[in-house]
Amino acid sequence: MHVVATAGHVDHGKTTLVDALTGMHSDRLEEERRRGLSIELGYVWTTLPEVGEVAFVDVPGHERFVPTMLAGIGPVPAVLLVVAADDPWMPQAAEHLAALDALGVRHGVAAVTRSDLADPGPATERVTAELARTSLRGAPVVAVSARTGAGLEELRAQLTRMVADLPAPDPGADVRLWVDRRFTVRGAGTVVTGTLPGGTVAPGDEVEVDGVRARVRGVQALGAPVESAHGVARVALNLVGDGLDEVDRGSVLVTPGRWQPTDTVDVRVTGDIDALPARPQLHVGAASLTARVRPLADDLVRLTLDRPLPLRVGDRALLRDPGSRRIWGLRVLDPAPPALRRRGAAARRAQALTTSWAGTGWDGEPDLRAEVERRGIADVRVLTRLGVPPTDPLPPGILAAGHWLVGNRAAGALARRVAALVAEHDRARPLDPGVPLTALAERLGAPSPEVVAAVLAPPLQVRGGRVVSAAAAPALPPEVERAVAAIRRDLAAAPYAAPSADRLRELGLDPRREAAAAKAGLLLRAAPGIVLLPGADREAARLLAALPQPFTTSEARQHLGTSRRVALPLLDHLDRAGLTRRLPDDRREVVGPR
């Protein structure tokens, strides 16, 4: 299916024309038919032989219904602009065209209607000239008469060429449906309609509407039930769930967990920036809400919205001043910007955005490398929800750390800070070299220890959950080396007769020095105050394997030739090391290498 919106001044024949093209009636309200004036959005469709089904969203042309018109054209990729041959160029035609230009709509056809009542030449020339100043420059202009049928075949041919050139949407894309109509059907419940730009919806799908979870009970397209609908398509969805009473035009239906609602967004505005009011109306999709403007620099501004919306990098929308009826286009640059708290922050933010988009240009595609560099450290899940998913392989200079991506500049700065902190720690505590990863992450404000580990540069490395310097391995103080040598001599004849507390004090081995010697691999520390030679635990397991299994603590003590003071913590250490297993009756058995 393809979807085309109409645009044009009131009473220039938009509804009559699409009705003639489709053989249907888009005005569904009694008041519309009585007054000959479209008030709400209308929907009709036809089949064009070479491209298939084409649905038309017929929008009202009266100035009082501009918000309704914008709700109709907002999500639609193509337009049929209608201008009457027997009327001059009119204000609503200009306003509708300005809105289309602001939204960057590039696919369109113009129809000069009522060509049986006046010479279509002057109107055709004026329309062509007006289009040339917009994103629709070069669009074909066709003179038609819905009453006589003149020009309708040519119009169908031009519509066929236009929709054939539309980019193919991704059926696997995340769903975002801007609701343009909501009503209740007896026996079915809530029904919402809208233009599905991409993705797929099917009965049974879980969706989210303005933060409320719901389930799709049924799907209709072109007035008939379907097993699924793929964008681009006009769809009606029957929803079930609690809390749907508040759903209305401007609500947004999305794939759960795949979008990032935001009420603060940095954008680039096109139009006379000096005339932009402080609180314009933002029109995006079918939604209309008030936004508060904070200038950053030049044409870059920050918008604070009345309510969160699921926006992505690259989205197009427009701002409108209801008083002057002026329109400004905008493109979303960052839907998750940092707070601006310090003097000069706005100017620095503008510079960061300008630098980030310099590679692709303001109208280019979002660039993953630039996004990560600007953010420094970015959550892959958030980037995906913002419309900048990771690529495989990653761009050069981007580091992956779990579900985090780290930019080159941020990685370098973080690595230098880690090196400084580790060096500072090692100078202050030479007997306890290295800093735990978790402590560094907390100290540096990094989102996870994985990020710290990813940015390390030689000679720093992770060892036992600590960041240490491979080149550092500082020698133990001489007094500790002498104490260790004395213990080796003491244990030479009786390897499990651990030195007493008095002996450790005599040797100057306080708990800190004792732990340092154990960390250096010079001693085995079964427990504070219980030190043996390195490898004594595995040798103990080998000796205990000779006992009948299982064995008691007393049997182990006697077999190793040691005291209960040493045997209890040594056996606990063997349990923790996986060399022995403690049974419910407090006996043990050897389970490790024998």
Residue 207 to residue 241: CA distance in whole angstroms: 10
Mean pLDDT of 488-498: 92
Residue 137 to residue 123: CA distance in whole angstroms: 16
Burial class, 580, CB count within 10 angstroms (exposed 0-12 / middle 13-18 / buried 19+)? buried
Residue 173 to residue 87: CA distance in whole angstroms: 43
Task: Let me know: does 6 contact 14? Beta carbons within 8 Å.
Answer: yes
Mean pLDDT of 54-71: 63
CATH superfamily of 261-366: Translation factors (2.40.30.10)
Instruction: Identify the sign of the CA torsion 7, 11, 16, 21.
Output: negative
CATH number of 176-254: 2.40.30.10
As a dihedral over the C-alpha atoms of residue 544, residue 546, residue 549, residue 554, rounded to 10 degrees, the angle is -50
For the beta carbon of residue 1, count every other beta carbon within 10 angstroms.
Answer: 20
Mean pLDDT of 444-466: 91
Which is more confidently placed, 587 or 45? 587
Residue 175 to residue 208: CA distance in whole angstroms: 10
560 pLDDT above the threshold of 90: yes
Low-confidence winner among 234-248, 394-408, 505-519 (lowest mean pLDDT): 505-519
As a dihedral over the C-alpha atoms of residue 195, residue 201, residue 203, residue 205, rounded to 10 degrees, the angle is -120
Tens-place pLDDT, residues 313-356: 999 998 999 888 888 999 999 999 999 988 999 999 999 999 88
For the chain, the average pLDDT equals: 88
Q: Which of the four pLDDT bands, split at 50, 70 and 90, describes residue 533?
A: very high
Residue 537 to residue 209: CA distance in whole angstroms: 62
Task: Let me know: does 167 contact 105? Beta carbons within 8 Å.
Answer: no
Residue 499 to residue 532: CA distance in whole angstroms: 8
How do 206-209 and 212-221 pair as beta strands?
antiparallel
**Residue 199, phi-psi category: left (phi > 0), alpha (psi -120 to 50), beta (remainder):** left
Q: What is the pLDDT of residue 476?
A: 74
Q: Residue holding tokens 């109208």? A: 363
For the beta carbon of residue 386, count every other beta carbon within 10 angstroms.
Answer: 24
Residue 386 to residue 480: CA distance in whole angstroms: 57
**Which residues are registered as beta bridge partners of 525?**
531
Tens-place pLDDT, residues 189-205: 899 988 898 999 999 99
Task: Let me know: does 568 contact 540? Beta carbons within 8 Å.
Answer: no
CB within 8 Å of 427: residues ≥ 6 apart: none
Share of the chain above pLDDT 90, in %: 61
Q: For the residues of 473-497, what is the DSSP string, one character each?
A: -PPPPHHHHHHHHHHHHHHTT-TT-
Q: Which of the four pLDDT bands, split at 50, 70 and 90, describes residue 175?
A: very high
Q: What is the pLDDT of residue 574?
A: 93
Q: Which of the four pLDDT bands, split at 50, 70 and 90, describes residue 65?
A: very low
Confirm whether 261-366 and 478-590 share one CATH topology: no
* Phi, psi dihedrals of residue 306, rounded to the nearest 5°: -65, -25
Task: Let me know: does 217 contact 199? Beta carbons within 8 Å.
Answer: no
Q: What is the pLDDT of residue 339?
A: 92
How do 233-240 and 206-209 pair as beta strands?
unpaired
Tens-place pLDDT, residues 36-61: 333 347 778 889 988 888 888 877 64
Q: What is the pLDDT of residue 384?
A: 94
445 pLDDT above the threshold of 90: yes
How do 141-143 and 107-113 pair as beta strands?
parallel
Nearest partner of 171 among 255, 268, 105, judged by Cα: 255
Tens-place pLDDT, residues 151-162: 999 999 999 999
> Do you know the residue count of the chain?
594
Task: Let me know: does 453 contact 401? Beta carbons within 8 Å.
Answer: yes
* Domain 478-590, CATH class in plain words: mainly alpha
Q: What is the pLDDT of residue 70?
A: 66
pTM to 2 decimal places: 0.76
Nearest partner of 378 among 242, 369, 23, judged by Cα: 369
Q: Read off the tokens for 259.
A: 């979008």
Domain ranges of the chain: 2-164, 176-254, 261-366, 367-474, 478-590
**Which residues are registered as beta bridge partners of 329?**
270, 318
Residue 268 to residue 321: CA distance in whole angstroms: 17
User: 2-164, what's its fold?
Assistant: Rossmann fold (3.40.50)
Q: For the residues of 39-91, what is the DSSP string, one character each?
A: -S-EEEEEEETTTEEEEEEEPP-SGGGHHHHHHHHTT-SEEEEEEETTS---H
